[in-house]
Structure 1
Amino acid sequence: MKIFNAAQIREADRLTIIRQGISSGGLMERVGNEVYLWLKNRFPDKETVFHVFCGKGNNGGDGLVIARLLRNDKYTLHLTIAGENTPSPDFAANLEKINREGIPYNTTTEISSYGKGKAVVVDALFGTGLTREPAGEYKGIIEKINNSGAYVVSVDVPSGLFLDRPTGFAVKADEVLTFQFPKLAFFLPGNYRYINKMHIIDIGLDKDFINDTVTGYYFTDKFEAYRLYRPVPYYAHKGTRGHVLVIGGSYGKTGAVHLAARAALTSGCGLVTALVPQCGYVPLQASFPEAMVLTNGETHLQEIAFALKPAAIAIGPGMGTDEETQQALHNFLFDNKIPMVVDADALNILSENLQWLELLPPKSVITPHPKELERLMGTWNDDFDKIDKLKAFSKKHSVIIVAKDARTLVVNGDAVYVNSTGNAALATGGSGDVLAGLITGLIAQQYTPADAAVFGVYLHGLSADIGVAETGTQAFTASSILHYLGRAYLQAESSCQ
C-alpha cells in the first residue's frame, strides 16, 4: 500500500471531487459517515458519552458531520468548537446544519467532566494540513484530552502531529482512524506515544490517482506481502530449494547460530550448513540434527573458508569481534560474491572498518538494530533525518537495510517499506538472529534480496502476532517465532488459493 505525503493527499481529494462529480462537502459527508459507522460498531452501547472536539478547518468539518450523526443516533454528545480563526467553507456549511438541527455546542476552553468508563473523545481539531505547533486554546484542549482518562479516537491524524517534521506536542490517541492511506509519521519512533492503534478507513478516493502516483514509501500489509509469496513447487526436492550457510558463533554464543540456521531451514530452504568454532560443534549437532556443521578455530573463528557452494550466506550471529575473526571477515569479504545477509557482530566489525562495506556483494542485506545502525552511519537529528541518511547509506553502499525497531523499515535506495506486523513480544534476545536466518533462507529460495527482506520482516512479525495470542507477550521467546512461522506461511498459502 502506498504512503503519500500531505500534498499528494490534497491532490487525491481534489481529483476525487472532479472525477466523481461530487462537491467537497459531499466528500466530507462521506468521510464523516464512514467514521461514524466505525464508532457505532466499536462503541455500540448507547450509554457511551462522546466528546467531539472540532477545529474550524476541514478536519473540524469532518468532526461536525460525525457529531451530527452520533446525536441523531441517540448517543449522548458533548460538542466543542475551538478557535477564533476563520472557518473553512465546508466547516461553515456543516455548522449551519448543526444549528438547524438544534445541536448544542460550546466555544470555550472548558470541558465537561468526563468521568471514567464509557467516555470517548473524538479528536477532530487539526488534520494533515497543520503547519505550526498548537498554542493557546488549542494547546489547553489537547492537554485536557491527554489528561482526561477518556478513550481517545483521532480523526485522520492525532491533532498536533506533523507529517513531514518532528512533533513536539500532540493528542495521545488510543486509536487513529486515518483516511485511505497510512501516514509515514505514524511509524516513526518519536511519534509512538501519540498512536496506540491505527485503522485505515476507505473513503473512496480516486483509484487512478492512487495507482498512477509515484511514491517512495510503502506500507507492507498482508496484500503487499502475500504478492511476494512463492509457493513450493510440487516437484521440489532439497537440491532445488537452496543451500544456506550460516557463519558465526563464538564461545558462549553458538545459540545465535542455532537460531539463525533453524530459521533458514524453517523458511523453506533445502539445506543448511553452519560454520562455527569447534566449541559449537557438539551443541549444534546435538540440538539441531538437520544442520550440517563445519568448524574453524577453537573458541572463535580464525578463518572463514569452505568448499561448498551455498545459494546465500548469513554472517555475524554470535561471531564476536576477536582480532583474528575481524581479519577472517575481511579476507572472506574480499573474495566472496555470494548473496549475503550481514547481522550482529559482522555489522559491529564493519562499523569499525567502514571501508570494508565496499567489499559486500551488491544488494547485500544488513540487519542492524538501532545502536548497530548508529555505529554504522552515525547519529541523526530526528526520525526524518534518519530516513534521509538511511536512503543515502543504502545508495552509497548498494545495500538493503533492515532497520529494526518497533516498526521495522526496509530501505532499498529511495524506496522505504514500513512493516505492518509484529509486537513487543519480539523484544527478546535472539529475535534478530531468527530474522537474519529467515531472510537468508528466502534469498536461497530465489527471492530477490529486496523481496526477501520485505517478506521476511513481515513473516517474522506475523509469527509473533499469531503466537502472542497463545503465549502472552512476556513468555514469548525467539524460538517461539520458529514455532509459529508455519502458521504464518499457512496464511500466505491460503491467500493464494
Structure 2
Amino acid sequence: MKILSKEQIYEGDKLTAKRQNISSTELMERAGTQIFNWIHMRMQGAPVPIHVFCGIGNNGGDGLVLARHLINHGYNVYTYVVNYSDKRSKDFLINYDRIKQTTKEWPTLLTSEKDFPSITPEAIIVDAVFGIGLNRPIDDWVKHLFQHFRASKAFTLSIDIPSGLLTDKVPENENDVVWAGFTLSFQTPKLVFFLPQTSKYTVQWEVLDIGIDLEYIYNLNTETELIGKQEVLPLYQPREKFSHKGSFGHALIIGGSYGKIGAVTLASRAALSSGVGLVTAFVPKCGYVPLQSSFPEAMVITDKEEECISDISFEIEPTAIGIGVGIGTHDKTIAAFEAFLKANTKPLVIDADGLNILSKKKALLKLLPEQTVLTPHPRELERLVGTWKDDFDKLEKTKAFSKKYNVIVIIKGANTITVFQDKYYVNTTGNPGLATAGTGDVLTGVITGLITQGYQPLVASIFGVYLHGKSADIILQDYGYQSLIASHVIEGLGEAYIDLFKQPEQPQQAENKEDQNA
C-alpha cells in the first residue's frame, strides 16, 4: 500500500473532484458519510454520549458531516466548534449551515477553557479539529483542550490524523497532540503512525476508502510503501517440479567467536529454513563441534584460529554470504574482514559486529558490492550514519547513507523499515516477542537465504523482513511475548510461507431451518 505525502493527498482530492465531476463539498460529504458508516456499524445506535469536536477547516467540515448523520440516526450527540481563528473553509461553512438546519441544538462554540464541556469516561470523543492541514502554532487553550480529552479517559477517535500531529515532524511537546485510541485515516495511512516517537499518538488505525481516483494512486510514485501480505505475495517465487538442491543456491554464513557460536547456528538454520539448497558455516575452530552436533544439515568450514576468525578463506562457491553474526571485533578479525571485503564479489548481508567494524573503519564501506544489505539495530545504525535529532532526521540520514554507498539498510524495530535510495518500505508484521537475543541473527539468515535462492537483494530484504515478523506473529499464540525465543522464529518460517496462500476466513453461514429443527 502506498503511503501518500500531505501534498499528494491534496492533489488527489483535487484530481478526484475533477475526474469524477464532483465538488469538494460532495467529496467531504462522502468522507463524513464513510466515518458515520464505520461508527454506526459498530455502535448500532447505542445510547453512548458522542462529543464531536470540529475545527474550522476541512477536517472540522468532516466532523460536521459526521455529527449531522449521527443526529439523523438518533444518537446522543454533542457538537462543538473549536474557534481558534476567524477564518473558515468554504466547505466547513456549507456543512455548518446544514447541521443548523438539522437540529435545534446548534454546535457549541468553544473560545477558551471556560467553554470546555464535561466528558465522562463512558463517552466517545471524536477529534476533527485540525487534520493534516495544520500550518500554524496551536493556541494554548486548544492544547489544554487536547489535555482535557486525555484527562477525561473517554475513548478518542481521530479523523484522518490525531490533531496537533504533523505528517512530517515529531511534536516538540506530547501534550500538544491528541492521544487517540483509534484513527480513521483517509485513503492511506500516515508515516507517523509507524515511527517510534509518534506511533503512540494513535493506538490503532484503519484506512477509510473515500474514493480517491484509483488511476492517480496507481501511477503515483510515493516515497513510502506499507508492506503486508498483499504486497509480498507477488514477490514469491514458486518451485519447479524437477528442481533440486542445486537449484536454490549455496548460502555461506561467516561469523562466530568463542562463546558466540549460537549466532552462526541461528543464522545458518534460518537460511536453510528460508529455502536454500545448501548452507555452509565458516567459524573459528571452537565452533566446529557445536555446529556439527546441533545442526547436522549444515556443512562447516573452520578458521585456523581456535577462538576467533583470523583468515576468511574457502574453496566453495557460495551464491550469497551473510557475515558478522557473533564475529567479534578482535584485531585479527577486523583485518580478516577487511581482506575479505577487498576480494569478495558475492552478494552480502552484514549484521552485528560486521556493522560495528564498518562503523570503525568507514573506508571499508566503499568496498561493499552494490545493494549490500545492512541490518542494524538503532545503536548500530547510529554508529553508521551519526546521531539524529528525531525519527524523521534518522530516516533522512539513512536515506542519504543508502544513496552514498548504494546499500540497502534495514532499520530494525517495531515497524522495521527497509531503506534503499529514495524509498522507505514499512513492514507490518512482528511483535514485541522479537525483542530477544538472536532474532536479528535469524533475520540475517532469512535474507541471506532469499538472496541465495535468486531473489534480488531489495526484494529479499522486504520479503525476508515480512516472513521473519509473520513467523513471530504465528508462533506468538503458543509462546507469548515473554517466552518467544529466536529458535521459535525459525520453526515458524514454514507456517509464514503457508500463510501467504491462506484465504481470509469467511463468516460461518447460519444453519438452515431443517438443521436447527433436527
TM-score range, shorter chain: over 0.9
Q: Partner residue of 2:296?
A: 289
CA change 1:387–1:112 in 2 (3 A) is: same
- Match of 1:177, SS? strand
Task: Report how far residue 189 of structure 1 moved.
Answer: 2.1
- Match of 1:273, SS? strand
Q: Partner residue of 1:123?
A: 127
Distance 2:74 2:461 in 1: 50
Question: CA-atom RMSD, angstroms?
Answer: 1.7
2:118 to 90, 105, 113: 113
Q: Partner residue of 2:278?
A: 271
Matches within 5 A, 1:296-311: 296=303, 297-311=305-319
Gaps of 5+ in 2: 505-518
Q: Partner residue of 1:10?
A: 10
Q: Partner residue of 2:67?
A: 67
- Match of 1:219, SS? strand
1:425 to 433, 457, 474: 433
Task: Report how far residue 483 of structure 1 moved.
Answer: 2.1
Q: After alignment, is 277-286 or 255-264 more displaced? A: 277-286
Q: Partner residue of 1:260?
A: 267
Structure number with bigger Rg? 2
Task: Report how far residue 47 of structure 1 moved.
Answer: 3.4
- Alignment check: 8 A CA contact 2:228 2:428 kept: yes
Q: Deviations over 1:230-252 (max 9, x none)?
A: 12222221110111111111111
CA change 1:469–1:42 in 2 (3 A) is: farther
Please state if 1:21 is matched with 2:29: no
Q: Partner residue of 1:485?
A: 493
* Identity among equivalent pairs (%): 48
Distance 2:94 2:44 in 1: 29
- Alignment check: 8 A CA contact 1:317 1:433 kept: yes
Task: Report how far residue 15 of structure 1 moved.
Answer: 0.7
Task: Report how far residue 289 of structure 1 moved.
Answer: 1.4
Q: Partner residue of 1:468?
A: 476
Task: Report how far residue 44 of structure 1 moved.
Answer: 4.2
Please state if 1:214 is matched with 2:221: yes
Q: Deviations over 1:463-495 (max 9, x none)?
A: 222222332222222222122221211122347
- Match of 1:181, SS? coil
CA change 1:394–1:51 in 2 (3 A) is: same
- Alignment check: 8 A CA contact 1:82 1:137 kept: no
Distance 1:251 1:205 in 2: 58
2:454 to 431, 434, 446: 446
2:163 to 159, 166, 176: 159
- Match of 2:133, SS? coil
Please state if 1:186 is matched with 2:188: no
Q: Partner residue of 1:101?
A: 102
Task: Report how far residue 61 of structure 1 moved.
Answer: 0.8
Number of matched pairs: 495
Amino acid at match of 1:394: S
Q: Partner residue of 1:369?
A: 377
Task: Report how far residue 205 of structure 1 moved.
Answer: 0.3
Matches within 5 A, 1:221-240: 221-240=228-247
Please state if 1:87 is matched with 2:91: no
Please state if 1:338 is matched with 2:346: yes
Distance 1:45 1:352 in 2: 63
Instruction: Give the TM-score taking structure 2 as reference length.
Output: 0.92
Q: Partner residue of 2:145?
A: 141
- Alignment check: 8 A CA contact 2:45 2:73 kept: no
Q: Deviations over 1:158-186 (max 9, x none)?
A: 10111122222311112111111122222
Distance 1:175 1:466 in 2: 24
Q: After alignment, is 329-338 or 219-228 more displaced? A: 219-228
- Alignment check: 8 A CA contact 2:84 2:142 kept: no
Amino acid at match of 2:237: R
- Alignment check: 8 A CA contact 1:260 1:436 kept: yes
- Alignment check: 8 A CA contact 2:355 2:376 kept: yes
Q: Partner residue of 2:49?
A: 49
CA change 1:234–1:119 in 2 (3 A) is: farther
Amino acid at match of 2:294: S
Amino acid at match of 1:23: S
Q: After alignment, is 243-252 or 215-224 more displaced? A: 215-224
Task: Report how far residue 84 of structure 1 moved.
Answer: 4.3
Task: Report how far residue 69 of structure 1 moved.
Answer: 1.8
- Match of 1:402, SS? strand
Distance 1:63 1:99 in 2: 14
Distance 1:479 1:132 in 2: 50
Please state if 1:404 is matched with 2:394: no
Distance 1:6 1:460 in 2: 31
Gaps of 5+ in 1: none
- Match of 1:411, SS? strand
Q: Partner residue of 1:380?
A: 388
Amino acid at match of 2:209: D
Amino acid at match of 2:486: A
